[in-house]
Amino acid sequence: MERGLKMDKVTVIVFSGEMDKVMAAFNIAIGAASSGMEVTMLFTFWGLNVLRKDKIGSKSKGILQRIFTFLNRGGTENLPMSRFNMFGLGPWMMKLLMKRYSMPGVRQLYSTAKELGVRMIACTITMGVMGLGKEDLVEDVDEFAGVITYIKDAREAKINLFV
Amino acid sequence: MERGLKMDKVTVIVFSGEMDKVMAAFNIAIGAASSGMEVTMLFTFWGLNVLRKDKIGSKSKGILQRIFTFLNRGGTENLPMSRFNMFGLGPWMMKLLMKRYSMPGVRQLYSTAKELGVRMIACTITMGVMGLGKEDLVEDVDEFAGVITYIKDAREAKINLFV
Amino acid sequence: MERGLKMDKVTVIVFSGEMDKVMAAFNIAIGAASSGMEVTMLFTFWGLNVLRKDKIGSKSKGILQRIFTFLNRGGTENLPMSRFNMFGLGPWMMKLLMKRYSMPGVRQLYSTAKELGVRMIACTITMGVMGLGKEDLVEDVDEFAGVITYIKDAREAKINLFV
């Protein structure tokens, strides 16, 4: 997809790492990209879990970060729900229902968004605190950047959301 | 209220079904409509609970959806709080405090918003997964639509929020 | 910092009172102000906790508000986390990690935002329900206002977020 100054822009900050919220964020991003808009998603804090590889090395990390990494499992298939998580029963039930309604899961949504040219940015300010290095994230992240990059994009965008 | 191309637009995605967040969303919508703006609210995921009838039939639904419907009680009077829900004690306390300060509850806010011409859209993408059919929602929903309709509105709106 | 009609505007509604979300809100506000934008933060519901003095008097308040005030501790140093709060262990761990990465805490972020001219508004509609009077909030709140003031700002802003 051609990127130019004349395309209307959209930014979505993905702060939350919960499956349901992340799905909403991707659906908006995909809808906007399908409508010919230029979409940027900025993953920060818990949202970084979406970009995490399923298995991440804990080498060279301190004990606090290891505990945190253990609690805060990432990867598109391991996201909790914002309500009725019930130790994983909720997401399992929702995935079954989604399958029945032919709704794509987070991994599929991510691929579709990438195919449509949605730009994925990992927030460098929060990666450290979340115990994540570049090697812990999936290979096809488009950019590692901070808030100034976001502001530049959002300032000229038609739609800006915080999820 | 007359609707035209020249009115400034507002969109609010109501993703959350918690009483406090929903109240915030309605207060913004009502404030904007009172200021002469054209407001659209898109209810999706847990936000669909706001549009649910108090009693909904569980006929012809699978077991998973019935469990989900049982857990996820809807209706404007049954929304939980995002914090200090305490099995319903929190909302009860907050409702008492709201009464003391003459703050309208969700049902009242919904009516006021409707009177001011706020357009209520139920998200068709998530209704199925939430176990809801059109017959489960209140009669005065203005539209059943998905993300493309939202993007079209949001693209030309002055204020877009995700609650 | 000079304020004029020609500066691009940003509004951030801080609804949530959780440390991580509040930090995200401040980082955006500070980034925007550093980029020469005119930023307004509207603190409402749990977000009002950010503006609370550490100790607040409970004189002349009803029993419900006292219980609520007791549960809902405020002050920039006492905010919980949106996930893994674990009765305060989460925020403690995160603060340690933040220190290691030289990330400023909420109090520091608040001061920096003030220095950059970010306008802080306390939402008068929700102060009562949250059991807060003007005397309970820090002295340097810029304005006490409601949704109409917010709509006026947001309507002409380039970036509007709900956190």
Residue A72: the pLDDT is: 74
Residue B139 CB neighbour total at 10 angstroms:
7
User: Which tops the pLDDT comparison, B103 or C124?
Assistant: C124
Gap from C13 CA to chain B (nearest CA, Å): 10
Q: What angle do CA A53, A59, A62 make, to 5 degrees?
A: 110
Comparing CA positions, the residue from B110, B123, B115, B117 lying closest to residue B27 is B110
What DSSP character marks residue A52?
B
Residue C63: the pLDDT is: 72
Gap from B28 CA to chain C (nearest CA, Å): 6
Size of interface A-C (CB pairs under 8 A): 73
Gap from C67 CA to chain B (nearest CA, Å): 10
B106 vs B101: CA distance, rounded Å: 15
pLDDT, averaged across chain B: 86
Closest Cα in chain B to C44: B24
pLDDT in tens, chain A (163 residues): 455 557 999 999 999 989 999 999 999 999 999 999 999 999 999 999 999 987 655 555 677 677 767 677 667 777 887 776 766 667 777 787 788 777 888 999 999 999 999 999 999 999 988 888 999 999 999 999 999 999 999 999 999 999 9
Gap from C126 CA to chain B (nearest CA, Å): 9
Which subunits count as partners of chain C given 3+ CB pairs below 8 Å? A, B
| CB environment B88-98: b (16+ within 10 A), e (fewer) | eebbebbbebb
What are the tens digits of pLDDT across the range C133-146? 999 999 999 999 99
Residues in contact with C146: Cβ distance below 8 Å, sequence separation at least 6, in sequence order: B31, C123, C124, C125
What DSSP character marks residue A159?
E
Residue A31: the pLDDT is: 98
The burial class, CB within 10 Å (0-12 / 13-18 / 19+), for B28 is buried
What are the tens digits of pLDDT across the range C68-101? 676 776 677 778 877 767 666 677 777 877 887 7
**Highest mean predicted confidence (pLDDT) among B83-87, B101-105, B154-158, C79-83:** B154-158
Q: Which chain B residues touch A113 with a CB distance below 8 Å?
A: none
* Pick from A102-106, B54-58, C61-65: least confident: B54-58
Residue C1: the pLDDT is: 47
pLDDT, averaged across chain C: 86
Is the Cβ pair A163, B162 closer than 8 Å? Answer: yes
Comparing CA positions, the residue from C112, C139, C125, C158 lying closest to residue C42 is C125
Cβ–Cβ < 8 Å for C68, C130: yes
Gap from A99 CA to chain B (nearest CA, Å): 9
- The rounded radius of gyration (Å) of the Cα atoms in chain C is 16
**Over residues C39-50, mean pLDDT:** 95
Gap from C36 CA to chain A (nearest CA, Å): 10
B69 vs B61: CA distance, rounded Å: 10
Q: Residue B63, Cα to own-chain centre: how many angstroms?
A: 26
Q: Say whether A115 sits in a helix, a strand or coil.
A: helix
User: Which tops the pLDDT comparison, C117 or A87?
Assistant: C117
Q: Which chain A residues touch C30 with a CB distance below 8 Å?
A: 147
Using a CB–CB cut-off of 8 Å, the residues of A that contact C are: 13, 15-17, 44-46, 62, 64-65, 67-68, 71-72, 125, 128-129, 131, 146-148, 150-152, 154-157, 160-162
Q: Is the pLDDT of residue B59 over 60?
A: no
Q: What is the value of pTM for the model shown?
A: 0.88
- Name beta bridge partners: C160: C11
A74 vs A49: CA distance, rounded Å: 4
Cβ–Cβ < 8 Å for C45, B20: yes
Question: Does the model's ipTM exceed the 0.90 cut?
Answer: no
Closest Cα in chain A to B70: A84
Option in A27, A84, A100 nearest B72 (CB): A84
B35 vs B33: CA distance, rounded Å: 5
Cβ–Cβ < 8 Å for C151, B38: no
The burial class, CB within 10 Å (0-12 / 13-18 / 19+), for C130 is buried
C154 vs B32: CA distance, rounded Å: 10
**Over residues B124-143, mean pLDDT:** 91
Share in percent of chain C as helix, strand, coil (round to 5): 45, 15, 35
Question: Where are the extended beta strands (E) located within chain A?
Answer: 9-14, 38-43, 119-123, 143-145, 159-162
Classify A53 in phi/psi space as left (phi over 0), alpha (psi -120 to 50) or beta: beta
Confidence of residue C55 (pLDDT cuts 50, 70, 90): low
Q: Which chain C residues touch B82 with a CB distance below 8 Å?
A: 16, 46
Is the Cβ pair A128, C161 closer than 8 Å? Answer: no
Phi–psi pair at A149, nearest 5 degrees:
-60, -45
Stretch (H or E) spanning B39: strand B38-43
Using a CB–CB cut-off of 8 Å, the residues of B that contact C are: 8, 20-21, 24, 27-28, 30-32, 34-35, 37, 82-84, 93-94, 96-98, 100-101, 103, 158-163
Of the CA atoms within 13 Å of residue A153, those in its CB half-sphere come to 25
Comparing CA positions, the residue from C18, C28, C70 lying closest to residue C48 is C18
Q: Is the pLDDT of residue B58 over 60?
A: no
What DSSP character marks residue C133?
-
A2 is written with which tokens? Answer: 């051609």
